[in-house]
Chain A
Amino acid sequence: MYRYDEFDARLVHERAEQFRGQVARRLAGELTEDEFKPLRLMNGLYLQLHSYMLRIAIPYGTLNARQLRKLAFIARKFDRGYGHFTTRQNLQLHWARLPDVPDMLLELAEVEMHCLQTSGNCVRNITADPFAGAAADEIEDPRILSEILRQWSTLHPEFSFLPRKFKIAVSGSSADRAAIMVHDIGIEILRSKTGEIGYRVFVGGGLGRTPFIGHEVGSFVPKGDILAFLEAVMRVYNESGRRDNIHKARVKILVHQIGIEEMRRRVENEFAEIKKSGVLQLPQSEITRIAAYFAPPDFATLASGDAAFEAAKRGNRDFANWVKTNVHAHKMPGYAIATVSLKTIGETPGDCSSDEMDGLADIMDAFGQAEIRVTHEQNLVLPHMREADLFALWQRLEALNLATPNYGLVTDIIACPGLDYCDLANARSIPIATAIAKRFADLERQQDLGELKIKISGCINACGHHHVGHIGILGVDRKGVENYQILLGGSGAEDASLGEILGPGFDREGIVDAVENVIDTYKNLRSDSERFLDTYRRVGAQPFKERLYAR
């Protein structure tokens, strides 16, 4: 993974000291809250329902064991001993105190981490496929471009006060494990007919109040041109994005208003101008230099189908169940990608205690895992496990209560913090998630249902990505009472689609039954081993509406 040199390190240290100065000015009254707010937001510090919340950046979701231990330490020392992994691969601490934050930033700087631009109207954390460097279908590790973009976007002098936030995601294969189609800019790495690797760029995707699937704005941008191309998009957005209404200020609204043809024209014009100066050309030497940080680990030459691994599966049903869902094929024979589910039945999705973080760091050391990844579905991934080590891994995860065998299943629910924590929320999401998970806790039932992605947001801002859930749930405030709307048929993968609202919402008592009815309807209608999503796409909303509302 990327290692800071003295320049990166100095920048995050100076940034921490800059914020210390800003906090001092705030506490001395030299800055009003109105003046301080954008400054603290650009260091990821929110004022939430109960307390300050600090959002720590985890660039493209990659952490090493030292960093994981530091996060555990910071959560313990400055917060309440746990953190929440988010749908943008970051970590949130919900109980920060303002004067502690500069010290927290310094602790983070010590392990090459920061909170830069995790909020504010600037380019946010660049997210990428959590299977990067391990997936068999990968054309190129998306984190190489992600790191280049991280540096390009950090403290960008022209684009730090955009009309609104700007989110970029990168996928390294045609399979989209980074939800690129619902980002402000989504980038797909692909190979041209001549074998050259380049980038397909989408613009204007996004969730929230007005969800959109992104449109192609660049069909094949050569590597050397990517920074110039992205600056062109940013400049068009900075100049023309709406400034009069924060609900209409995202780039997706601009694309919707002027149309993708006009957007493409403006971007291409700007791109042509930028190219003239040549200043933003990305030299191959720089790409090669950054790529070296993401060189694959020294893989041993192994045969696939490790005998001990196969025997362990036959001998231990719980282990076999875990492998069935939580282990994915690796590009190297004898290796595997292991998902650590943070969706323990009955507990807050995506939460991880300091003890669990330390335990995972120990596991990383025990199995020689240099990296752990945070996924945008609030789970963790150990990307380069040896098949031969999987059983021992599973046993250690079991001891930590982190071996829930539910990746991708109905209890692998994404939920935003919601009204239990968040100042913006209208309804609680976590207790809905835990209630649904408990209702479907039976593992056989879960496996029978297969891939079923439920995503829950506590408000229209859609941090739970409900628009792209196979079953999405949106919590609203209906005359002061929490109410839950069901959407069906969304997908955040390469077959991206936005969920459709099924009908009137349900209250807290009714929503779990409603979800169960939806799932039963699917079961009755499915052909063979069709996924829920496929059944819905085949039969449409009508059968589900009838089941829930015809009375």
Chain B
Amino acid sequence: MPQVLTANRLVVGEVVYWNGARGWVQRLQDAEVLADSEAESTLAGAAEWVQKREVVAPYLFDVRLEHGVVVPVKVREAIRAAGPTVRLDLGKQSV
């Protein structure tokens, strides 16, 4: 199952995603989709960013690719990527 690495920025608390080439990005669509073989090592690599006080609480979550669009398997991650479904004027979806 393809996965994405995510975390929260320590200072502002914002949700971010890992892209090996670009670092921590704000949009899920810019995240790197990880194959099974690389997911765990990528997660382990996040420890360095925790140590540097960039992010906290990194973890992996499952995604599907639908016509090139990264779609989280769980509703929770879809909401986390966009913002509260009851306030469309708030969160990443409003930017």
| Partner-B contacts on A (CB < 8 A) | 26-27, 29, 33, 47-52, 80, 95-99, 348, 419-421, 425-428, 430-431, 434, 477, 480-482
A-B pairs with lowest CB-CB distance, top 3: A420-B84, A52-B13, A51-B13
Interchain CB contact under 8 A, A29 and B86: no
**For the complex, what is the distance from the CA of A413 to the CA of B83, rounded to whole Å?**
23
Number of cross-chain contacts by CB at 8 Å: 74
Residue from the set B11, B12, B13, B91 with the largest chain A CB neighbour count within 10 Å: B13
Interchain CB contact under 8 A, A420 and B14: no
Interchain CB contact under 8 A, A431 and B12: no
Q: Which of B73, B79, B86 contacts A49 (CB 8 A)?
A: B79
Q: Which of B51, B56, B85, B91 contacts A431 (CB 8 A)?
A: B85
Interchain CB contact under 8 A, B11 and A27: yes
Interchain CB contact under 8 A, A480 and B75: yes
**For the complex, what is the distance from the CA of A313 to the CA of B80, rounded to whole Å?**
47
Taking the closest CB of chain B, its distance from the CB of A436, in whole angstroms, is 14
Evaluate whether A420 and B10 lie within 8 angstroms (CB atoms) in the complex, with A95-B90, A431-B86 already known: no
Taking the closest CB of chain A, its distance from the CB of B79, in whole angstroms, is 6
**For the complex, what is the distance from the CA of A131 to the CA of B80, rounded to whole Å?**
38
Count of interface residues, chain B, beta-carbon cutoff 8 Å: 25
Residues of B within 8 A of A434 (CB): 86
- The reply to whether the CB of B69 lies closer than 8 angstroms to some CB of chain A is no
- The reply to whether the CB of B15 lies closer than 8 angstroms to some CB of chain A is yes
User: Which residue on A lies nearest to B73, using beta carbons?
Assistant: A480
**For the complex, what is the distance from the CA of A427 to the CA of B79, rounded to whole Å?**
11
- The reply to whether the CB of B50 lies closer than 8 angstroms to some CB of chain A is yes
Main secondary structure of the interface of B (DSSP, over half): loop
Q: Which of A50, A427, A481, A482 contacts B15 (CB 8 A)?
A: A50
Residues of B within 8 A of A80 (CB): 90
Interchain CB contact under 8 A, B10 and A98: yes
- The reply to whether the CB of B3 lies closer than 8 angstroms to some CB of chain A is no
- New A-B contacts (8) at CB < 8 Å, excluding given A51-B8, A51-B14: A49-B15, A99-B11, A348-B87, A420-B85, A421-B84, A428-B85, A431-B85, A480-B73
Interchain CB contact under 8 A, A29 and B83: no
Interchain CB contact under 8 A, A47 and B56: yes
Residues of B within 8 A of A33 (CB): 10, 50, 56-57
User: Which residue on A lies nearest to B52, using beta carbons?
Assistant: A29
Interchain CB contact under 8 A, B75 and A97: no
Interchain CB contact under 8 A, B12 and A51: yes
- The reply to whether the CB of B76 lies closer than 8 angstroms to some CB of chain A is yes
User: Which residue on B lies nearest to A417, using beta carbons?
Assistant: B84
- The reply to whether the CB of B22 lies closer than 8 angstroms to some CB of chain A is no
Interface residues in B6-62 (C-beta closer than 8 Å to A): 8, 10-15, 50-51, 53, 56-57
**For the complex, what is the distance from the CA of A431 to the CA of B64, rounded to whole Å?**
25
User: Which residue on A lies nearest to B89, using beta carbons?
Assistant: A80
Evaluate whether A420 and B12 lie within 8 angstroms (CB atoms) in the complex, with A33-B56, A348-B86 already known: no
Residues of B within 8 A of A481 (CB): 75
Interchain CB contact under 8 A, A98 and B74: no
Give 19 A-B contacts (CB < 8 Å), ordered by A residue: A26-B53, A27-B53, A33-B56, A47-B56, A49-B80, A50-B80, A50-B91, A97-B11, A348-B87, A419-B76, A420-B85, A420-B87, A427-B75, A428-B79, A428-B85, A430-B86, A480-B73, A481-B75, A482-B75
